[in-house]
């Protein structure tokens, strides 16, 4: 497979804390890769570096063969990368559909200018809304499109944030702990959506996720981070059996005792 995203030796220090330590991993096109590890392992910091929200202290990032480390988030987004956050981060006083239309700007389009410039951008505005409606139908929110985002449940806001990430038609989507706070029905719906995005939508997903059942069932590759560094990477079964995986989640005592 071809690596769509290559992360080579990135590091990030906050004062005396080395949050990410020479981390290296890759994400193949058309796959789901999961970044896992115990709390404080550096997973979200690595996400923030890859997506441009933090600048690395060292190392490089190549997306589609082009160096992107140090670029601003909007510049990386325009190259075909989108991300969500652990909290949905919707605009509560805007309608559901307008929340999604905002995401079109990730590709450099400017549908919001329609508010200011009248008929000049009517066609662009119409295309943006049509695209937003298509994405909302995909995530199950089309019937709520004209309601304020504040009226949605937490789980629905989660799907809204994913819709906003998808509307710009990115090649890779970074999902940060997307199952947190979801009920059983929404949980299953999200898993199916992620599978659909890869198999039918031809997307690539980089996932930070704490639920190991999800990780091991949908990932082609799993990357294990511990104390800021990558200690194992490979197929789910390989990483599950890796000594570092057992130590990270159960402690060294279980490794020593053979449990």
Query: pLDDT tens digits for 124-166?
Result: 778 888 999 999 999 999 999 999 999 999 999 999 999 999 9
Work out the burial of residue 88: count CB atoms within 10 Å of its CB; fewer than 13 is exposed, 13-18 middle, 19 or more buried: buried
pTM of the prediction? Answer: 0.88
Each residue of 95-116: pLDDT tens digit? Answer: 999 999 988 755 555 555 444 5
The dihedral sign for the CA sequence 204, 208, 214, 220: positive
- Name the average pLDDT for the chain: 89
Question: For residue 251, what are the CA distances in angstroms to 35, 204, 243, 256?
Answer: 19, 33, 10, 9
Structure tokens at 191: 């898993």
Find the length of the chain: 259
Which tokens is 179 given?
């199952």
Q: What is d(CA 213, CA 175) in angstroms, rounded to the nearest whole number?
A: 16
Question: Which value, in Å, is the radius of gyration of the alpha carbons in the chain?
Answer: 19
27 touches 204 (CB < 8 A): yes
Q: Of all helices (H) and strands (E), which one includes residue 216?
A: helix 212-218
Q: Residue 256 pLDDT > 50, yes or no?
A: no
Q: What is the pLDDT of residue 255?
A: 42
Sort strands 32-36 and 58-63 into parallel, antiparallel or unpaired: unpaired
Neighbours of 127 (CB within 10 A): 14
The whole-number average pLDDT for the span 7-27 is: 97
Domains, the chain, with CATH or none: 1-80+171-259 (3.40.50.300), 89-169 (no CATH)
Using CA atoms, how far apart are residues 242 and 255, in angstroms rounded to an integer?
10
End-to-end Cα separation, the chain, in angstroms: 35
DSSP 111: G
Distance, in Å, from the CA atom of 167 to the CA atom of 145, rounded to the nearest integer, reads: 14
Kindly indicate the confidence band of residue 232, based on its pLDDT and cuts at 50, 70 and 90. very high
Furthest CA-CA distance within the chain: 72
* Cα–Cα dist 15/178, whole Å: 29
pLDDT at 119 over 90: no
CA gap 244, 103 in Å, rounded = 39
Name the nearest CA neighbour of 166 among 205, 110, 217: 205
Lowest mean pLDDT among 28-32, 49-53, 209-213, 253-257: 253-257
Whether the predicted pLDDT of 243 surpasses 90: no
pLDDT more than 70, % of the chain: 88
Q: Are 208 and 35 in contact (CB under 8 A)?
A: yes
Query: CA dist 191 to 13, 169, 198, Å?
Result: 34, 19, 11
């Amino acid at each position: 497979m071809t690596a769509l995203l290559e992360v080579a030796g990135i590091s990030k220090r906050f004062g005396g804390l080395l949050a990410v330590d020479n981390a290296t991993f890759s994400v193949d096109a058309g796959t789901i890769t999961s970044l896992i590890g115990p709390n404080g392992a550096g997973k979200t910091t690595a996400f923030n570096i890859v997506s441009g929200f933090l600048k690395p202290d060292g190392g490089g990032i190549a997306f589609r063969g082009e160096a992107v480390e140090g670029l601003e988030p909007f510049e990386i987004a325009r190259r075909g990368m989108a991300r969500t956050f652990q909290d949905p981060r919707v605009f509560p006083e805007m309608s559901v559909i307008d929340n999604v239309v905002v995401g079109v700007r990730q590709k450099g389009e400017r549908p919001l200018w329609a508010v200011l410039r009248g008929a000049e951008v009517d066609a662009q505005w119409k295309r943006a809304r049509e695209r937003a409606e298509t994405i909302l139908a995909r995530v199950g929110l089309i019937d709520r499109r004209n309601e304020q985002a504040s009226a949605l449940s937490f789980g629905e806001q989660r799907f809204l944030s994913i819709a906003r990430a998808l509307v710009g038609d990115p090649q890779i989507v970074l999902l940060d702990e997307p199952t947190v706070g979801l009920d059983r029905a929404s949980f299953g719906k999200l898993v199916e959506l992620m599978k659909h995005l890869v198999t039918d939508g031809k997307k690539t997903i980089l996932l930070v996720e704490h639920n190991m059942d999800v990780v091991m069932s949908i990932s082609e590759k799993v990357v294990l981070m511990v104390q800021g560094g990558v200690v194992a990477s490979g197929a789910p079964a390989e990483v599950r059996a890796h000594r570092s995986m057992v130590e990270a989640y159960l402690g060294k005592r279980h490794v020593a005792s053979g449990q």
